[in-house]
Amino acid sequence: MPQRGGAISAASILFVIYGALGIIGSTFLLAASVAQPSIIGLPLIGALANVAAWILAAFGAILLPPSILALAAGYLLWKSRRSGGIFGIVIAAVTMAVLALLLLYPVLYVVGIIGIATSVILVVLISAGWRCLR
């Protein structure tokens, strides 16, 4: 049984961190959408707050499944499973594609760059430790 290399360990830990932060973030967004501010009763502001609550709920719901999948990839990589490597590369590729859309919005530009850079690092780490996976 081959030992898990340092690159695979680092990728596993990064995926677990990604997944945990994503679950925390999606839970926060879903909770924020439920705990709507008390200004909903006001005519114009209330309608905007209602739309904002739906947007928060949508982002929270969209963020939750990939976060759970990232935790699964981290666990499989920790166990040195080749399926974890494949899973991790697919998750990183999808993440890069989605985050590339954030580059269109100047406000979210930094988030997109950091996310794409982290995904590239994850792919490089998995590729470097591919021989350790079984």
In this predicted model, what pLDDT tens digit does every residue of 66-106 receive, in sequence order?
999 999 999 999 999 999 999 999 999 999 998 898 888 88
Contacts of 73 (CB under 8 A, 6+ apart): 15, 19, 84, 87, 88, 91
Domain extent, residue 64, equals 6-132
1 occurs within a structural domain: no
11 occurs within a structural domain: yes
User: What average pLDDT does range 105-130 have in this prediction?
Assistant: 93
Tell me how many domains the chain contains. Answer: 1
33 occurs within a structural domain: yes
Which letter does DSSP use for residue 130 in this model? G
> Is the model more confident about 109 or about 35?
109
Amino acid at 93: A
103 occurs within a structural domain: yes
Rounded to two decimals, the pTM is 0.85
